Amino acid sequence: MTMRISTAQMHYNALSTMRLRQGEIDTLRQQIASGVKLTRGADDPTGIANVQQLQHALASLDQFDKNSTVLGDRLRQQEAATADAGDLLQRANEIAIQAGNGALSDGDRHTLALEMRGLRASMLQIANRDDGRGRQLFAGTRDGIKPFTDTSGSVSYSGNDGQNLVDVAADVALADTDPGSRVFMAVPTGDGISRTRANAANTGTGQLDSAQINNAATWNGATLQLRFPTASTYEVVDGSGNPLAPPVAGAWTPGQAITAQGAQFVVSGTPAAGDSFKLERAPKQDIFATMQQLADALDMPGSSAVDVANRNNALHAGHEDLVAAQQHLLDIRSETGIRRANLDSSDDMRGANGVAMTEMLSGLRDTDLADAISKLQFNMTALDAAQQMMARLQSSSLFDKL
């Protein structure tokens, strides 16, 4: 087979080569100038798809970063708020202990009561703190409200019990600040298991030194009452006043430990006939009520032995609830610290993923300058050679060879 080469064909081939080289040169110059080698799907369909996936993933990481920043700020503020609340309770605890000084006058105790009420007001301000972005720290999932309101000495909660979960990484969501109902309203009393109170109508000088559950397996959570039919005898009955089976009763001496169904009472002083002390499963109450009760106990007047006993019983009960509230806030603060630590771990993991994906994206999308410049020089040399060939073709024809 004979291959024919015409002058027109030689011109066409040379021109095609020049156009190809010029197109490659233009592309390489654009890649060098922009720093991006993938600008069209036609350049590398698979590469473009991978680039878009990586860009989407990096955009998600950017949103996770924003979520983490907001959540971190709110958790730091919750930790600070619970620390401030703990400081208030520590001062309240000091007041309760100071109030046990028998040398204090009614005026002295009233001064302490005023300070206690001031601490309570400060506690309410802490509970109503916002995060600086227009959202309350302790309103649950409700926005645009003031969560706590004090009406005639009783604090009500207008938030809800919800708690937002915030996405801070792929498949990782952490809890936002705790609802105020948990932090300030549902606070343990007593020792967290049981709580004991002296009957407010007691007329003797009996004072509750201690009451606790010393055998949880025996106590079934039922209410028990230690009462004194006479000043020298005692009996333990159930919450309805019915004798236990078998009965728990006998002669009583001050400071005697009385045990019944896993619970133990220790009372000093001289109870009067009909006086009683009740042990029950520890309820929960708001921290403001605990501080209010302590303030009211400090303001209980009178210097008689009966007045002193009633006041000391009220102070003992309030102080016990106060200690439980302190531990409660410490637990909340500890849980907040754990969440912050988990948030830091998520930030580290997200940062490492971001670096890896950015490097992958750069490898797929960004121009390798050294390689691009080398190819540009090669194509410019090839174009120059093609242009020289075209110039020679234009000045000659196949007829010159005849």
pTM for this model (two decimals): 0.79
Final residue of a structural domain among 264, 281, 298:
281
Strands (E) in 47-205, as ranges, are: 148-151, 154-157, 165-169, 172-175, 187-188, 194-198
Question: Does 401 fall in a domain?
Answer: no
Question: Does 100 fall in a domain?
Answer: yes
133 and 59 housed in the same domain = yes
Among residues 256, 263, 209, the alpha carbon closest in space to that of 238 is found at 263
378 and 301 housed in the same domain = no
- In the prediction, which pLDDT does 98 show? 94
CATH code of residue 122: 1.20.1330.10
**Type and span of the H or E element at 284:** strand 284-285
164 and 71 housed in the same domain = yes
Question: Does 2 fall in a domain?
Answer: no
92 and 28 housed in the same domain = no
Structure tokens at 367: 């121009």
Please state the domain count of the chain: 3
Cα-trace Rg, the chain: 41
Half-sphere exposure of 221 (CA within 13 A, CB side): 4
20 and 168 housed in the same domain = no
Question: Does 339 fall in a domain?
Answer: yes
Q: Measure CA of the first residue to CA of the last residue in the chain; give whole Å.
A: 22
383 and 321 housed in the same domain = no
CA distance 190 to 321: 5
Final residue of a structural domain among 255, 281, 307:
281
pLDDT tens figures, 141-200: 998 899 999 999 999 999 999 999 999 988 889 999 999 999 999 999 999 999 999 999
DSSP state of 189: -
Return the amino acid letter for 373: I
Residues in the chain, pLDDT under 70: 1-52, 54-55, 57-58, 359-402
Question: Does 227 fall in a domain?
Answer: yes
Among residues 200, 208, 204, 225, the alpha carbon closest in space to that of 273 is found at 204
Rounded to 5 degrees, what angle do the CA atoms 110, 113, 115 make? 115
- In the prediction, which pLDDT does 103 show? 87
CA distance 225 to 243: 10
Q: Which residues pair with 167 in a beta bridge?
A: 173
Whether residue 192 contacts residue 238, with contact meaning beta carbons closer than 8 Å, is answered with no
Structure tokens at 87: 């400081």
Helices (H), 198-304: 287-298
353 and 275 housed in the same domain = no
CA distance 340 to 308: 47
CA distance 383 to 20: 9
CA distance 163 to 137: 11
Domain that holds residue 270: 201-281
Question: Does 29 fall in a domain?
Answer: yes
292 and 164 housed in the same domain = yes
150 and 18 housed in the same domain = no
313 and 174 housed in the same domain = yes
187 and 219 housed in the same domain = no
91 and 219 housed in the same domain = no
Whether residue 309 contacts residue 204, with contact meaning beta carbons closer than 8 Å, is answered with yes
Question: Does 7 fall in a domain?
Answer: no
Question: Does 5 fall in a domain?
Answer: no
CA distance 83 to 329: 8
Sign of the alpha-carbon dihedral angle for 77, 82, 88, 90 = negative
Final residue of a structural domain among 237, 257, 281:
281
